[in-house]
């Protein structure tokens, strides 16, 4: 959330002056930063955001609330140091702009720290509130009304990163259940001598390696300065998010009662894995996006085939486009 949603976003979309002003403290870790996109009533439908920013002289006035903000509070009492905030600055859903809002800005406050999360409990998550929040016009990142592209480009990168998080969960779960099955004795034999247990471990390893290849391949081809990587950014997160949760579930099953308690870690990894089917885009959103993008590819391919057709009319060769 700090290095990718804030630092990379600002590095790719900010002016040289803005980068010189804010990146050094973010990069050296002296400031805690994040990004604000989701809202209490707006998640997957991100372009339906209600937060607005209105220009008044040399300032923008921001009103609204952002929800599920990672690094939203370090202690439950104050906000972090700086956030990139998406807000509507026009009449249409795509008239979105990006602003940098710093801790202590008048009208900017912590709404609440999110309590009792199922997983990812080490992640500091909060609601942030903007009530007549006055931000200097110099804090506008990029052009007014042009931040939708920044948002979509950053979502593609975020989804690859979250897929990589699923890889880490799966790898740790495989290590834990493999070690346990090797050491545990049942019915006079090692647990890993039983076919059911072998299936859990072997299928988990194969699925993890498939996901690893997919993640590294998508990451290798990802263009940080452009959009258009959405198909496989969605695909890799969809596959790895489900894969990580399934592997964690098998690890609990292999370890039985011990897998269900915190001492053996896999129950925590199982809880953490669930977020990766929700955050950064739900599985259902990935289904929709993938089918949409594949449909576009099929349409473009159809046009190319038509474009290659030629007919002879008298002395003219006419190409169909």
Residues that are catalytic: 158
DSSP alpha helix (H) spans, the chain: 9-13, 16-27, 147-183, 195-221, 230-259, 266-275, 283-307
User: Cα dist. 148→13, 48, 66, 87 in Å?
Assistant: 12, 12, 17, 10
Checking 115-118 for CB contacts under 8 A at 24+ apart, the result is: 118/271, 118/274, 118/275
Nearest in space to 252 (alpha carbons), one of 174, 182, 162: 174
Other Cβ atoms closer than 10 A to 291? 11
Find the largest Cα–Cα distance for the chain: 88
Rounded Cα distance, 268 and 123, in Å:
13
CA-to-CA distance for 96 and 24, rounded, in angstroms?
27
CA gap 132, 87 in Å, rounded:
13
Residue 135, SS3? strand
- With 0-12 / 13-18 / 19 or more C-beta atoms within 10 angstroms meaning exposed / middle / buried, residue 141 is buried
Residue 36 pairs in a beta bridge with 85
Measured CA angle at 27 (ends 217, 141), to 5 deg: 85
**Phi, psi of 113, rounded to the nearest 5 degrees:** -85, 135
């Amino acid at each position: 959330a700090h290095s990718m949603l804030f630092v990379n976003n600002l590095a790719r979309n900010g002016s040289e002056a803005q980068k010189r002003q804010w990146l050094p403290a973010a990069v050296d870790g002296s400031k805690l930063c994040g990004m604000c996109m989701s809202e209490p009533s707006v998640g997957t439908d991100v372009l339906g955001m209600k937060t607005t920013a209105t220009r008044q002289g040399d300032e923008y006035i921001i009103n609204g609330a952002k929800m599920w903000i990672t690094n939203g509070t370090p202690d439950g009492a104050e906000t972090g140091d700086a956030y990139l905030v998406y807000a509507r600055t026009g009449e249409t859903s795509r008239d979105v702009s990006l602003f940098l809002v710093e801790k202590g800005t008048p009208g900017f406050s912590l709404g609440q720290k999110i309590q009792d999360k199922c997983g990812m409990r080490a992640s500091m998550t909060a609601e942030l509130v903007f009530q007549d929040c006055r931000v200097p016009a110099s804090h506008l990142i990029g052009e007014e009304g042009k931040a939708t592209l920044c948002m979509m480009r950053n979502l593609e990168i975020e989804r690859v990163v979250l897929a990589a998080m699923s890889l880490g969960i799966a790898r740790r779960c495989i290590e834990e259940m493999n070690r346990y099955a090797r050491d545990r004795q049942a019915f006079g034999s090692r647990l890993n001598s039983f076919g059911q247990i072998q299936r859990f471990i072997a299928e988990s390893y194969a699925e993890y390696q498939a996901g690893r290849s997919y993640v590294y391949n998508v990451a290798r081809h990802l263009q940080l300065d452009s959009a258009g990587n959405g198909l496989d950014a969605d695909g890799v997160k969809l596959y790895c998010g489900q894969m990580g949760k399934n592997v964690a579930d098998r690890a609990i099953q292999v370890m039985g009662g011990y897998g269900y308690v915190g001492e053996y870690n896999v129950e925590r990894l199982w809880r953490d894995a669930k977020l990766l089917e929700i955050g950064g885009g739900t599985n259902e959103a990935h289904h929709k996006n993938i089918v949409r993008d594949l449909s576009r590819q099929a349409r473009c391919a159809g046009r190319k085939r038509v474009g290659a057709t030629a007919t002879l009319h008298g002395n003219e060769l006419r190409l169909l486009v």
